[in-house]
Amino acid sequence: MWAVKNAIKRTLLYITVMIFCFFSASPFLIMLINTFKQDADLYRPQNNPFIYNFPPTLENLELLFQRTNYMIFVRNSLIVGVLVVLITLVIAIPGAYSLARLTGQWGERAGIGIFLVYLVPPTLLFIPMFRIVAALNLNNTIWSLVLVYPTISIPFCTWLLMGFFKSIPRDLEEAAMVDGYSHLMAFLKVVMPLSLSGIIAVIVFTFTLTLHEFVYAMTFISDSTQRTISVGVPIELVRGDVFFWQSLLAAAVIVALPVGFVYNLFLDRLVAGFTMGAVKG
Amino acid sequence: MQKSAAEETAVYRATTHSKTQFLFDNERFLGTIFLAPAVIYIIALVGIPFIMAITFSVTDVTVGDTSLDFVGLQNFRRIIQTPQFQRALKDTFLFTIVAQIFVAILANILAVILAQEFRGKWIARMLIMLPWATPISLGTIGWLWIFDSKFSPIDWILQYFGLLGTPDAIFGASKHLNFLGREELAMASVILVHIWRMLPLAAVILLAGLTSIDSDLIDQAQVDGASFWRIHFQIRLPLIFPIMSIALLFGLIFTFSDMVVAFVLTRGGPVYYTQVLPLWAWFKGIDGGSLSEGAAIALFLFPLLLVVAILMLRVARRSEVR
């Protein structure tokens, strides 16, 4: 009796898991299938959309890589991503350490203040930002994004790293300082190596953020060769009212799957950041 | 422990008080320079733009004429009177609230499931996280195809089961539902994509809350004969309430301030029926070049964001006290 009940429970569990997986993954599944579909297959409403009614083809990928600016978008996104990650690390690591150890009581409050900045959405600020970027002569270049994206990544990453630094026992640095290191050296030689996993989480978060961002990228840049993936794909791969559907879907899924995979590896750490320390990660 | 001569000299050299050495040991000095870049960056590129946004909203600045002539509350007055505004305000709240209600319910179910051990959990978690982890503008492209007016896979499935496209079908005799071309369906489509996108984040935050609960507490309740649902509603939910509210407040902000889903899916259409506030601000301010009106529209987002921020602080403080 107990065994039967248990078996039913397990089955229900698996069915529910499958329903959720299907809901979440179906757009990507459709993208993946359509990537290799011939026009004649795709554009016939009576064809089964989930199988290949005609043999699969690589033509859509060829079109995407050779006759669109897709690779330029990818390159731009990589440049922006790497630079924003560097800026974020250089600013957020010391800032977080300062809030965790050096600034005493008001450090806590300043930390929460910085976290709240993360809640300011681009849609609130994109209009003045557009003017600032134009005034600095950065409009229509990827440098505008390199300048502005850290405003989103620094608050969250400072917050995340602050929690991380707090979890490292103070004794370790004090021991190093007793051994003659300055506080700065103790931080660099003792705290930094121990925080490596937190720093990697920050890199992943910041990089995915630069890939995700859409509002600023669409506002600042109208030159096709300066666009990043998130805007370039939905806007440029549509020619007037003609969609190159398979190439468009391929362009999306090629980015989506690897990013999703890597993000998932660091999920627990990022969740600890999102819960504001209410849960220890 | 005995130190070698080399080590001793190293220590001696390190402890010699040069001037820089002194500075790098001074916590106040170090604390200030460490924090300064972050604070300066945020003031320069969040604080100043915010003040500029308020300034723009009470002037007549446009892309073509960037001089700031004060016009008072004229922009706000003009905006509020348009039917677009009323629609945009209603849509923004409606989409956010409906999406968050669904997210709250589904995330609870999903978090309880993901707290169990089962085979393939890692893969399942990755698939479920995909909508959050991938760029939303790209994910929405998949939905754009799913909602296509002619080739929608949903239409095909419904037709296959005879629910659409025959004279007496429940979903109508027309061959296609035309999701994005009809007012209610377009609104539902935008909401669905928001649910799809926010569910993973809410679920993993809740999951983190669930796994942090002391398992003795649950065991005790089970020994006392409490049912699964009773344990869930009377023990787990109250315990994870602070974390759950954080998950929902994040969802609220992200959905409320989002223009990507509506932009990619419908461009605000049909007519302006899915034109949420941020999207309208973009069309007015950047596309139309009226920076002042765009800034004024975007500022309507601020009160709600403020409320959410305050709520978050209160939740965080309360969970700290515990």
Q: Are residues A126 and A262 in the same domain?
A: yes
User: Is residue A276 predicted with pLDDT exceeding 70?
Assistant: no
* Topology (CATH) of B82-321: MetI-like fold (1.10.3720)
- Quote the CA–CA distance of A92 and A162 in Å, as a whole number: 9
Domain coverage including residue A38: 2-57
Cβ distance of A48 and B113 shorter than 8 Å:
no
**Is residue A63 in some structural domain?**
no
Nearest to A95 among B38, B138, B155 (CB): B38
**10 Å Cβ neighbour count for B81?**
10
User: Is residue B4 predicted with pLDDT exceeding 70?
Assistant: no
| Mean of pLDDT values over A219-224 | 92
In this structure, are residues A274 and B246 in contact, taking their beta carbons and an 8 Å threshold?
A: yes
- Quote the CA–CA distance of A219 and A222 in Å, as a whole number: 8
- Among A57, A86, A102, the domain-final residue is A57
Closest chain B residue by Cα to residue A179:
B11
CA A216 to centroid of chain Cα atoms: 15
Q: Which of the four pLDDT bands, split at 50, 70 and 90, describes residue A242?
A: low
For residue A137, the domain's CATH number is: 1.10.3720.10
| Mean of pLDDT values over B238-243 | 84
User: Is residue B321 predicted with pLDDT exceeding 50?
Assistant: no
**Is residue A186 in some structural domain?**
yes
Name which residue leads in pLDDT, A24 or B25.
Answer: A24
User: Is residue A277 predicted with pLDDT exceeding 60?
Assistant: no
ipTM value:
0.91
Q: Are residues A178 and A221 in the same domain?
A: yes
Quick one: B235 exposed, middle or buried, by C-beta within 10 A (0-12, 13-18, 19+)?
middle
B158-193 pLDDT, tens per residue? 988 888 877 887 887 788 888 898 999 999 999 999
- Quote the CA–CA distance of A161 and B261 in Å, as a whole number: 31
| Mean of pLDDT values over B190-204 | 94
pLDDT at A93: 95
Q: Which residues contact A18 (CB under 8 A, 6 or more apart)?
A: none
User: Is residue B3 predicted with pLDDT exceeding 70?
Assistant: no
In this structure, are residues B127 and A240 in contact, taking their beta carbons and an 8 Å threshold?
A: no
pLDDT at B147: 94
Q: Are residues A154 and A30 in the same domain?
A: no
Which residues of chain B have a CB within 8 Å of the CB of A92? 38
Cβ distance of B135 and A229 shorter than 8 Å:
yes
**Is residue A79 in some structural domain?**
yes
User: Is residue B2 predicted with pLDDT exceeding 70?
Assistant: no
Q: Are residues A133 and A100 in the same domain?
A: yes
Which residues of chain A have a CB within 8 Å of the CB of B129? 24, 260, 263-264, 267
Closest chain A residue by Cα to residue B319:
A278
User: Is residue A25 predicted with pLDDT exceeding 70?
Assistant: yes
| Mean of pLDDT values over B55-72 | 88
What residue ranges do the domains of chain B occupy?
Answer: 1-57, 82-321
- Among A57, A77, A95, the domain-final residue is A57
Output the average pLDDT for chain B: 86
**Is residue A279 in some structural domain?**
no
Q: Is A119 on the interface with B (CB under 8 A)?
A: yes
**Is residue A107 in some structural domain?**
yes
Name which residue leads in pLDDT, B14 or B104.
Answer: B104
Per the structure, how many domains does chain A have? 2
